[in-house]
Amino acid sequence: MIPNAFLQDLLNRVDIVEVVGRHVKLKKAGANYSGLCPFHNEKSPSFTVSATKQFYHCFGCGAHGSAISFLMEHLGLSFPEAVADLAHSQGLTVPQESNRPGGRGAPPRAGASHGGDGPASPDGDGSHVEAAVPAASARQAAPLVEVMQLACDYYRRALRGAPVAIEYLKGRGLSGEIAARFGLGYAPDGWQNLASAGVDYDSAALVDAGLVLVSEKKSGPDGEGRRYDRFRDRIMFPIRNSRGKVIAFGGRVLGSGEPKYLNSPETPLFSKGSELYGLFEARQAIREQGFVLVVEGYMDVVALAQLGFPNAVATLGTACTPVHVQKLVRQTDRIVFSFDGDKAGRRAARRALEAALPHAADQREIAFLFLPAEHDPDSFVREFGREAFAGEIARATPLSDFLLSEAVAGKALDRPEGRAKALFDAKPLLRALPKNALRVQILHALADRLGLSVGEVAELCEVELHAASAAPRRVAAAPFAERRRVVGTEQRALRNLLMFPRVAAALDADATDTLALCARHHALFAEVIEQARALGDDAEFRHLADALRRSAYAETFVDAFDEILSYDENARDLLLYDPSDAAQAARHRELEQSAEAEVHGALARMRYDACCERLSRLSRQGALSADETAEFAALSRLAIELKRGLAPVSSTEA
């Protein structure tokens, strides 16, 4: 741990005006300095920095803290990284204090919204404190950082003299402004072009940084193999760390060579499992737009920035990891993962789900967007437009819904074996979630899906049925009749049909087919529709209630009617409804029309859920037949079309 005494000495040495001024344009305003807040959008300055108190505060959004807090929040650094950054600027080495009894304690908390300096305490968001960067490591990294920047400058100069590379970028719709913003360059075809980059080509730093390879075949008087450039004839994408330093490259081949994309290897500067392409460039846009969009490749990031989505980032040829998610939640409370709708995309989404679960705090929103199999984000926006893509983002599947669909996909929930398998698959996902309100709601939703009590689901999955702040309590198992009740989307549809039988009687063939094929309780719906039609002109709530109390499903319907009478504010009016009263009739028609719209919305949701369940089942299979492949593509397109017509739903909707 970093000693408190060192932290205080460090904060006494640094000038917060200088630290903040590197990132925010400040103007003298009396005894303080002011500028536009970097943490929220504003047109008039409300962000103040005090030179005397060594503190910053925003009167608009409330962000405040010290120099350490500022680096953590603005650059997305961990506490040790921010301390190391400031210490380096002062020529200091960060000492370490062992975490043992008798030590001098942990550093104080840090955070722009709370003030103070120190690592955020565990609060269920899955964050952790990373080890401080040793001074020796920083010294070893310095020459690598230097050669990476020299290489970046060389590639950018080479791009200006490469018409073929420029035409390729123009063909992808990229402007010179976007190319400059991301520092795009070109690695010419040839073996030792970096010899012209202003660095000694025999330098060990070139090899250590992953820019140069050494042949295994020995040659030359020193017995070393021949050196040659790793990147040749490729568009170059510099990968920056949170401080903006170039730590790696991604290269996209211009011709038909393989591999199509080539990343830097793991180096002392670069670990692909912890870095995100475009995060440094997207920081401000993420704050302005309130969310980050995670895509699958760096070309997607650059293309989306060109098309008006500058808040996109990408993993680097690897699955999303918990470290990736941890970096993202430092920047925003809303993360949208975008994947192709094919099998590979859905597998990647599952891995992202697993990485995100420990970070699913109640204040956060994590969602998953699946595009048609034939589209990536770039092609989708170019074909359907910016507004269409923004709509897809807004309708992205919430983490809770995706978790539930993964748990139940491909299971026969009408059989004990299927429900048991769903619980088995759900258990590790539920246990990975923080002990918060979201997990409680997901437990309830899963219990509804499986026809079990929430207490049984919690016990079988070995999770506590309470949020972290609540006192533990054991929930008694619900009686069998209650566990078999209709819930979620079907519950709302059934309630509306019971309350307004004329809506049930008027359902067309498409609607009844949807209920027959997609509703888990299709027999109940069939009974309601049959009885409503049999009533003819007498199809009113009280008459349907009497008819259904004598049906084979009387127990379920009695429970449904009791719930309506107990909780629905319109139930009394329905019982006393007099069709001859003009005012009552007008009000009744208004309620009936609203119910009809809700029923058709529920039917659309059932079609979409059934489509997604079939897609999940196919994605879990091995190799698909030609017919199954065609079905998968058709269902992917259908799911997109159906989703566009859906109204937003709560995370607990079944």
- pLDDT band at 568, cuts 50/70/90? low
> What is the rounded average pLDDT of the residues 590-600?
89
Contact 57, 36 (CB under 8 A): no
In degrees rounded to 5, what are phi and psi of residue 578?
-115, 105
- Nearest one of 167, 55, 156, 161 to 114, comparing CA atoms: 55
pLDDT score for 648: 54
Q: Using the Cα atoms of residue 205, residue 209, residue 212 and residue 217 in order, give the sign of their dihedral.
A: positive
Concatenated DSSP letters for 177-192?
Answer: HHHHHTT-EEE-SSS-
- Whether 121 has a pLDDT exceeding 50, the answer reads no
Residue ranges covered by each domain of the chain:
4-133, 137-263, 279-395, 404-483, 488-644
Distance CA 205, CA 140 (A): 10
pLDDT at position 277 is 96
Question: Which superfamily is assigned to 137-263 in CATH?
Answer: DNA primase, catalytic core, N-terminal domain (3.90.980.10)
CA nearest neighbour of 498 among 521, 529, 523: 529
Return the closest-CA partner of residue 180 out of 164, 156, 147, 150. Answer: 156
Classify domain 4-133 by CATH number.
3.90.580.10
Residues whose CB falls within 8 Å of the CB of residue 357, separated by 6 or more in sequence, listed in order: 399, 403, 429, 432, 433
| Closest residue by Cα to residue 135 from 190, 164, 94, 96 | 94
pLDDT of residue 106: 37
Which CATH topology does 488-644 take? DNAb Helicase; Chain A (1.10.860)
CA distances from 57 to 38, 290, 333 (A): 11, 20, 21
Q: Which residue has the tokens 């200006």?
A: 160
Tell me the per-residue pLDDT of 63-97, one tens digit each, with 9 for 90 and over: 777 888 888 888 877 788 888 888 888 888 888 76
Range with lowest mean pLDDT among 186-190, 384-388, 471-475: 471-475
Mean pLDDT, the chain, integer: 82
Judged against a pLDDT cut of 60, whether residue 654 lies above it is answered with: no
Least confident of 132-141, 455-464, 508-517: 132-141
Residue 259, preceding peptide bond in cis (omega within 30° of 0) = yes
Q: What are phi and psi of 74, to 5 degrees?
A: -80, -40
Range of lowest pLDDT (221-230, 286-295, 337-346, 457-466): 221-230
DSSP state of 621: S
Distance CA 369, CA 355 (A): 16
Q: Closest by alpha carbon to 143, among 205, 86, 54, 87? A: 205
Backbone dihedral angles phi then psi of residue 325, each to the nearest 5 degrees: -65, -40
Give residue 595's pLDDT: 87
| CATH architecture, domain 279-395 | 3-Layer(aba) Sandwich (3.40)
